[in-house]
Structure 1
Amino acid sequence: MFPDVGHPLLPRLKDHERAELGVPQSCIAWPLTDPHSGGRDADQADELVKSVLSTNAIGSWDWPDRPVVFVSDLHADAEGFLRSLIASGALTRDGKGLTGLELTAFGRSALIIIGGDCLDKGPSNLDLLHAIKRVMDLGAEIRLLAGNHDLRLLLGVRALVGERTPLNEHMFVRMGNKVLPLLREVFDLHVDPDLDLKTAPKIAECRNRIFPGAKWERHFRVAAADYLNEAAIEKELKRLRKKVRNFEEAAENAGLNMRQLYVAAAKCQSLFLDPHGPYGWFYREMKALYQAGSLLFIHAGMDDAMARELAETGAKGINRRFEQQSRENPFTFYSSSIGNLMRTKYRPVDKPLTAQGVRHLHDSGVKLLVHGHVNRAEGQRLKSMQGLLHLEGDITLDRHSRKSEGLDGIGTGCTIIYPSGDIVGLSRDFPHAKVFNPAAHGAKGILQS
Structure 2
Amino acid sequence: MTTQKQKIGNWFRNSISAKMLMVGFLILILLIPLGFVKDLIRERGFRQTEVIEEINTKWGNQVVLNGPILKVPYHVYVEEKVFDEKTKTFLTSQKPQRHAAYFFPWELDINSNVKTQPLERGIYESVVYNAKTQIKGEFAKLNFSVKEIADENILWDKATVVFKTSNLKGIRNTVKVKIGKEEYALKPKFDNTYMNTLESGFLNEIQSIQNGPLSFSSTIDINGSSSLQFIPIGKETRVFMKSNWHSPSFNGNFLPETEGKKIGPSGFEAQWKVLETNRRFGQYFFDNLPNLSDFSFGTEFMVPVDDYQKTERTSKYGLMIIGLTLLVFLLIQISSKIAIHPFQYLMIGLALVMFYTLLISISEHQNYLFAYLISGAAVVALITTYSRSILKNSKFTLLVLGSMFSLYTFIFVIIQLEDYALLVGSIGLFVILGTIMFTSRKIDWSGAQ
Q: TM-score, normalised by structure 1?
A: 0.24
Which has the higher relative contact order, 1 or 2, with Cα contacts under 8 A spaced 6 or more apart?
1
Q: TM-score, normalised by structure 2?
A: 0.24
Q: Which has the larger radius of gyration?
A: 2
